[in-house]
Chains A and B, each alone.
Chain A
Amino acid sequence: AQTVTQSQPEMSVQEAETVTLSCTYDTSESDYYLFWYKQPPSRQMILVIRQEAYKQQNATENRFSVNFQKAAKSFSLKISDSQLGDAAMYFCAYRRRETSGSRLTFGEGTQLTVNP
């Protein structure tokens, strides 16, 4: 079974600074997707960024980027120029390739606080 671990229950960052959220996972599969989701307080979860395991290049989306280390099974999220609106719970998630199923497996989450 696949597992996802986020070892940082809480993180804080100053506005305009950079923060990195950690995630490790365990799988015997070689082809899969990894995701970071953001869940603001009392609002629905939205996708921040995705990474395909067969791609060596790290994904980037504006101020968000990942450091994907496949051999180490590590998938961290870097948020640059942090904004107050980035404050939320962040979840790392794993999904097998489509032909093998569709379920997302989530980590425990990291609560990010952005200080003005």
Chain B
Amino acid sequence: DTGVSQDPRHKITKRGQNVTFRCDPISEHNRLYWYRQTLGQGPEFLTYFQNEAQLEKSRLLSDRFSAERPKGSFSTLEIQRTEQGDSAMYLCASSFFRTQYNEQFFGPGTRLTVL
């Protein structure tokens, strides 16, 4: 399968713990995006990278959140000191900038439950 992959698919953690999610984009895609989707809502943008550079961050991305994309390949999203309000689906998408539409392809998501 050459699509966007995310790991883990599900994560249950206790409040106050740190969690880290991984996203592997489609090979050769130079842009990578993170979105958060709460139950019954549309995804909300968190941040995106072009290669290894983080170009934009949403105000939703509090100080407890950090994202990296070392070497411009896979990306990690870490949440420190998790809160119950962090419970959501975290979606990753990738695209190839410079194509006509720069279409974003989504991964299956990581569902986080904070107890």
Residues on A close to B: CB < 8 A? 4, 6, 33, 37, 43-47, 50, 91, 93, 98, 101-109
Contacts and interface: CB of A to CB of B under 8 A. Distances in A.
A102 B33 contact: yes
29 contacts: A37-B106, A44-B3, A44-B4, A44-B107, A44-B108, A44-B109, A45-B106, A47-B104, A91-B42, A102-B31, A102-B48, A102-B55, A102-B56, A102-B95, A102-B97, A102-B102, A103-B33, A103-B45, A103-B58, A104-B33, A104-B43, A105-B45, A106-B42, A106-B43, A106-B44, A108-B40, A108-B42, A109-B40, A109-B41
B91 A47 contact: no
A98 B99 CA distance: 10
B28 interface: no
Interface residues of B, number: 26
A46 B105 CA distance: 7
